């Protein structure tokens, strides 16, 4: 099999809902921004993944920046919650198992089922702000989580494929716990002469982080989850 190095660039859009709870300056807030409200509340977002691989070994960097906000009335006062989230994950993987399924896919590589353990670090920066009537407080925190996980890939036929990934992290190094899972259905084609894999799927990321310093205690127990649409360009 060809083991030449390739670069895969994958811009995507993650229509994530936020569900959970946060704690800031003695105030508990329920975080509930459904997918139907995400675009309306979205101020700015950028997401993408870059991977360098030779088919057996690879490294990757995945990043997202998202700013959302929501408002509700509490005891005749308007409560506002804004959340700015920045995440960068960097890791490596190695293909420990590969079973050839016969034939080739649309980029002339053998159709396979593959298993790839992965490990890396995920950096998170959160800025949360609360506004209740005339009072306003905000807090910015950041942490780094180690994570370990598994990637699965299968060519269904020449063009259709499925990719899935799951990892667990935190281990009280940064957050107490983080869980990340995603699955995609892909379709191989060409865009402007560049091999491309159109992808649609679903992703969920759970993070449980807290600081113990008082009175500026901060807690973030939130799941981001929702559909993903993107394309992977192979160079």
| Mean pLDDT calculated for residue range 213-229 | 87
DSSP element (H, E) containing 36? helix 35-41
| Mean pLDDT for the chain overall | 90
Render pLDDT for 185-208 as a digit per residue (tens, 0 to 9).
Answer: 999 999 999 999 999 999 999 999
Of all residues in the chain, the percent with pLDDT exceeding 70 is 92
pLDDT beyond 90 at 143: yes
Global pTM reads 0.87
Closest CA to 197 of 106, 114, 111, 109: 106
Contact yes or no for 153/112 (Cβ under 8 A): yes
Contact yes or no for 225/203 (Cβ under 8 A): yes
Residue 1, pLDDT score: 63
Q: Cis bond leading into 215, ω under 30°?
A: yes
pLDDT beyond 90 at 59: yes
| Mean pLDDT calculated for residue range 169-174 | 96
Residue 17, pLDDT score: 86
| Mean pLDDT calculated for residue range 108-124 | 97
Per the structure block, which two tokens stand in for 167? 């990892």
Give all domains of the chain, ordered by start, each with its CATH number: 6-234 (2.40.128.90)
Q: What confidence tier does 60 reach under pLDDT thresholds 50, 70, 90? A: very high
Residue 18, pLDDT score: 85
């Amino acid at each position: 099999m060809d083991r030449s190095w390739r670069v895969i660039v994958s811009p995507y859009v993650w229509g994530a809902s936020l569900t959970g709870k946060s704690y800031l300056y003695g105030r508990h807030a329920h975080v509930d921004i459904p997918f139907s409200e995400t675009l309306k509340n979205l101020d700015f977002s950028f997401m993408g993944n870059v991977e360098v691989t030779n088919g057996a070994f690879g490294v990757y960097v995945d990043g997202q920046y998202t700013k959302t906000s929501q408002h509700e009335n509490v005891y005749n006062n308007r409560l506002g919650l804004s959340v700015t989230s920045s995440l960068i994950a960097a890791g490596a993987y190695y293909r420990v198992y590969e079973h050839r399924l016969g034939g080739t896919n649309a980029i002339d590589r053998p159709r396979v089922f593959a298993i790839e353990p992965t490990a890396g670090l995920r950096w998170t920066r959160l800025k949360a702000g609360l506004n209740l009537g005339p009072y306003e407080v905000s807090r910015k925190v950041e942490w780094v989580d180690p994570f370990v996980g598994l990637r699965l890939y299968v060519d269904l036929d020449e063009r259709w494929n499925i990719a899935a990934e799951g990892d667990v992290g935190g281990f009280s190094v940064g957050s107490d716990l983080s869980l990340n899972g995603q699955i995609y259905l892909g379709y191989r084609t060409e865009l402007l002469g560049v091999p491309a894999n159109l992808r649609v799927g679903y992703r969920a990321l759970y993070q449980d982080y807290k600081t113990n310093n008082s009175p500026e205690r901060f807690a973030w127990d939130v799941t981001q989850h929702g559909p993903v649409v993107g394309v992977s360009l192979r160079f």
